[in-house]
Amino acid sequence: MTLRPAAFAALLLSTALSAQTQNPVFSAKVEVVRVDALVTDSGRPVLGLGPADFEVLDNGVPQAVEFVSYDQIPLNVVLAFDMSDSVAGERLEHLRSAGTAVLAGLKRNDQSALVTFNNQIMLGAALTSDIEPLRKAIGHVVGEGDTSLVDGVFAGITVGESDAGRALLMVFSDGLDTLSWLSSAAVLDTAKRSDVVVYAVSVGKVKAEFLRDLTSFSGGRLFELEKTANLSATFLSILEEFRQRYLLSYTPHGVSREGWHRLEVRLKGKRATIKARPGYLAGSG
């Protein structure tokens, strides 16, 4: 299914125009704020925590954490793959193998989807718990044309939010955008308003500044590789790390319903390293 022509092109143009006039497309879900948080101690995940163990500050105001889940809510794993002409030969084979490895690592109620981007944005397979269409789609991908990385990320976030669940967007690219309609700023604003956590793998010598900002704002992580020989192991480590994250939720109080909200996530009485998104955008802009 091709997303850019017709409907998706109009959606992209609408988003771009909205960004230019500082009226972002998505309104924030201020009724309940969800925060994915990875808690580690000396690099090892800290498990078995509950709501009483966490402290969340929204613009410096303590919030009452209402729900904490670890590995209980099904995942929506969206694979967004660069299919430009820089992805060919051995690199393409490694990417196919890595994508297939992720599918094999999914659990019964998890869902997955495939978005590819080059001259066009293609939905290889919509969110589904049936991995067979994904296997076939990954097996048929080929690398050709230019790179619309920013547009592809926007599509991936959109697909990730299209159904209930915890959304993980896994992006693979050489980090170089040559064709996108949307600006990186517009899509970064979308990420700030979204619950989707983005992990990205950049291969090559291009400075992946957009992917670095994207993963930082969403609370994810960027992997910068020189080669793709161990790509499957990298993809599986991302999936495993995401499963080890906690999902926290709270209803904001004592803070504005507009603008940028700075988030701080802490543990009460315990020492640990916590990785979570640094904040979120609220309101209609």
Give the pLDDT confidence score for residue 283 in this predicted structure.
84
Give the pLDDT confidence score for residue 207 in this predicted structure.
83
User: Is the pLDDT assigned to residue 88 strictly greater than 70?
Assistant: yes
Position with higher pLDDT, 16 vs 178: 178
Position with higher pLDDT, 64 vs 25: 64
Give the pLDDT confidence score for residue 25 in this predicted structure.
36
Residue 198, classed as helix, strand or coil, is strand
Q: Which domains does the chain have, with CATH numbers?
A: 33-71+246-282 (no CATH), 73-243 (3.40.50.410)
Give the pLDDT confidence score for residue 108 in this predicted structure.
93
- Is the pTM value of this prediction over 0.85? yes
Phi and psi torsions of 95, nearest 5°: -65, -40
Q: What is the 3-state secondary structure (H, E, C) of 221-249?
A: EEEEECCCCCHHHHHHHHHHHHHCCEEEE
Could you give the CA distance from residue 16 to residue 182 in angstroms, rounded to a whole number?
5
How far out from the chain centre does Cα 218 lie? 7
Average pLDDT, the chain: 89
* pLDDT tens column, 144-202: 999 999 999 999 999 999 998 899 999 999 878 999 999 999 999 999 999 999 999 99
